Amino acid sequence: MLGRWDSAVAAQLDSCLSGDATPGDPAIAGMVMAASVLRPRRHISEGARQRAFDAMMREADRQARPVAGTHTDDLADPGVHARTAEAGPGFRLTVSDIEHVDDERLEEIAARLAARLGQNAPDRNQ
């Protein structure tokens, strides 16, 4: 609850900011000066206000999201089965699934991947 001094200061500050009075107290003069610095110099349109709000919300969303590339799958989770196989020189294949990955399934996936990677792009220079 505001005291008498606080409400008198608020009333005087309000009248000074509206232009009806001039500040008599140095404390009020400092508050009026601070308020005048914070007042926009020109009218802000609703479109500009909306664009600023949208930019602020995009930045808040960007800050709230984790940094790209820091997420890694937790393969130690007991619900995830992972198998790794060598698929050629310097090429390893890791298959993760919620179902058990047996040797036959791993070989089938590796064969499909090798066939897909072995396909040549059509020669467009002919």
pLDDT in tens, 106-118: 888 877 877 777 7
pLDDT for residue 102 is more than 80 = yes
What's the length of the chain? 126
Delimit the domains of the chain by residue range. 4-64, 81-118
The predicted-structure confidence for 24-53, as pLDDT tens digits, reads as follows 888 888 888 888 777 767 777 888 888 888
Within 32-106, strands assigned E span 81-86, 92-97
Query: Phi-psi bin for 27: left (phi > 0), alpha (psi -120 to 50), beta?
Result: alpha
What mean pLDDT is reported for the chain?
76
DSSP 60: H
Query: Phi-psi bin for 10: left (phi > 0), alpha (psi -120 to 50), beta?
Result: alpha
pLDDT tier at 82, thresholds 50, 70, 90: confident
Contact of 89 with 96, CB cutoff 8 Å: no
Number of H helices, E strands in the chain: 4, 2
